[in-house]
Amino acid sequence: MAIKFETKALDQILEKMIDTVGNSKDEIFRIGEQCRADYESITSELQDIKLKVAYIINEGDKLDIQVRAARKRLSEVSKHFKDYTEEEVRESYEVAHKLQMDLTMNRQMEKQLREKRDDLERRLIGLNETIERADHLVSQISVVMNYMMSDIRQMGEALETAQQRQDFGLKIIEAQEEERKRLSREIHDGPAQMMANVMMRSDLVEKIYKERSAAEAISEIRNMKKMVRSALYEVRRIIYDLRPMALDDLGLVPTLKKYLQTIEEYHKTTRIQFVNVGNDQRLPAKYEVALFRVIQESVQNALKHARASLIQVKLEIKQDLVMAVIKDDGRGFDVNEKKDDSFGIIGIRERVELLEGELAIHSKVGTGTLVIIQVPMNL
């Protein structure tokens, strides 16, 4: 009874903490979003300033040539003063003086624009650091909130000690949050960044058309089309990583074949070979999803950690067994060495165990890795 009472008291404390932490998370998120808006605005202003600096420098170079010519003319007039009329002498002095004043003003304007450009670049660096800190804090707070909101009482019945319960819960939450963070980073660094550049460059097309030429404007539009095409490819790749829609429509074998082809095209330095030696038939949905994920995770491990140049995937579907073999020629690792960041292998093992299957991993440092997955079934 004392334990139940203590649990209820802890739940009340957790609820208050969640509210407080949630408000802090929202405030940090708003700060990050405001910084992003300021970053985009300053980036656009900086681009405009750079164009003005280039224009002022070009005008200054022209004025410098004119000033030299005017000084030369003035020097000739001064040497042969008697050969020129009073009007010609006065005109030479006035032209030289006006050009010199124009050049001085041009240099002053160039200096001011350069200082403003440098100040904007410094502000962008500061804003970027603030955005990164805000994102990091939001991510950390999300981990804390998810952990506090998790129902760890039911998990406690399956775990032997309080320490095990804490470690297991944190691993699950951290793995989920890392996946969200990875997806957020991919969208921010990929499609979001590309589309932001398209927005800024679209504002420049009209200026280029008016101040330069239609040909340069058309060239800029072509570059924008390439960026939009790249952003579309990145969005499709991210969607495919989340859950290929073809898995529901076509089944495991065609979807896996298409996925591996796509990954090979994206990672141009790695060849991926896929062989299906069994029956090309549909499996129950839970088996298709689980097998696709464990093969996907194994291939991603070989790409990210093993730095493999060749990955071989073999799938065999029988009446009573499904076998998947993933082999790479990468760096390999010590299977007996435990690592804190080995969530990929943990996830593979848990999925295979849920299907009552067996997982075997053979690897040594410098010899590559062999993953064998066997899942029993009655088709």
Q: What is the pLDDT of residues 191-204, one digit of tens each?
A: 667 777 777 777 77
More confident residue, 112 or 4: 112
368: alpha, beta or left? (left if phi > 0; alpha if psi -120 to 50): left
Of the listed ranges 32-36, 149-153, 183-187, 231-235, the least confidently predicted one is 149-153
Q: Which ranges constitute the DSSP H helices of the chain?
A: 2-79, 86-149, 152-158, 162-187, 193-211, 214-242, 246-249, 252-266, 285-301, 343-354
Q: Which ranges constitute the DSSP H helices of 302-375?
A: 343-354
Residue 189 gets which letter from DSSP? I
Q: Is a pLDDT exceeding 90 seen at residue 275? A: yes
Q: Is a pLDDT exceeding 70 seen at residue 111? A: yes
Chain mean pLDDT for the chain: 79
Q: How confident is the model at residue 342 (pLDDT cuts 50, 70, 90)?
A: low
More confident residue, 5 or 140: 140
Q: How confident is the model at residue 359 (pLDDT cuts 50, 70, 90)?
A: very high
- Domain borders along the chain are 2-239, 251-376
What's the length of the chain? 379
Question: Rounded to whole angstroms, how far apart are CA atoms 175 and 181?
Answer: 10
Q: What is the pLDDT of residues 11-21, one digit of tens each?
A: 666 677 777 77
Q: What is the dihedral of CA 41, 42, 43, 49, to 10 degrees?
A: 120
Question: Rounded to whole angstroms, how far apart are CA atoms 260 and 246?
Answer: 13
Q: How confident is the model at residue 156 (pLDDT cuts 50, 70, 90)?
A: very low
Question: Rounded to whole angstroms, how far apart are CA atoms 119 and 104?
Answer: 23
Query: Residue 30: its pLDDT value, please?
Result: 86
Query: Residue 2: its pLDDT value, please?
Result: 39
Query: Residue 274: its pLDDT value, please?
Result: 94
Q: Is a pLDDT exceeding 60 seen at residue 233? A: yes
Contact (Cβ atoms closer than 8 angstroms) between residue 311 and residue 263: no
Query: Residue 241: its pLDDT value, please?
Result: 61
Strands 369-376 and 358-363: antiparallel
Amino acid at 296: Q
Residue whose token pair is 């009552």:
356
Query: Residue 158: its pLDDT value, please?
Result: 44
More confident residue, 300 or 193: 300
Mean pLDDT, range 25-47, rounded to an integer: 87
Q: Is a pLDDT exceeding 70 seen at residue 154? A: no
Question: Rounded to whole angstroms, how far apart are CA atoms 268 and 265?
Answer: 6
Mean pLDDT, range 16-33, rounded to an integer: 79
Mean pLDDT, range 112-138, rounded to an integer: 88
Query: Residue 310: its pLDDT value, please?
Result: 93
Q: How confident is the model at residue 88 (pLDDT cuts 50, 70, 90)?
A: confident
Q: Is a pLDDT exceeding 80 seen at residue 347? A: no
Residues above pLDDT 90, as percent of the chain: 18
91 CB burial (10 A radius; 0-12, 13-18, 19+): middle
Indicate if the alpha-carbon torsion angle 147, 150, 151, 154 is positive or negative: negative
Q: How confident is the model at residue 115 (pLDDT cuts 50, 70, 90)?
A: very high
Query: Residue 3: its pLDDT value, please?
Result: 42
CATH superfamily assigned to domain 251-376? Histidine kinase-like ATPase, C-terminal domain (3.30.565.10)
Q: Is a pLDDT exceeding 90 seen at residue 372? A: yes
Q: What is the pLDDT of residues 313-331, one digit of tens each?
A: 999 998 889 999 999 998 8
**Is the pTM above the cut of 0.75?**
no
Mean pLDDT, range 280-302, rounded to an integer: 86
Of the listed ranges 170-184, 200-214, 240-254, 275-289, the least confidently predicted one is 170-184
Query: Residue 190: its pLDDT value, please?
Result: 65
Amino acid at 48: D
More confident residue, 197 or 218: 218
From edge to edge, which strands make up the β-sheet containing 271-276? Answer: 271-276, 310-317, 321-328, 369-376, 358-363
Residue whose token pair is 């003035």:
74
Question: Rounded to whole angstroms, how far apart are CA atoms 283 and 252?
Answer: 8
Contact (Cβ atoms closer than 8 angstroms) between residue 335 and residue 349: no
Q: Is a pLDDT exceeding 80 seen at residue 269? A: yes
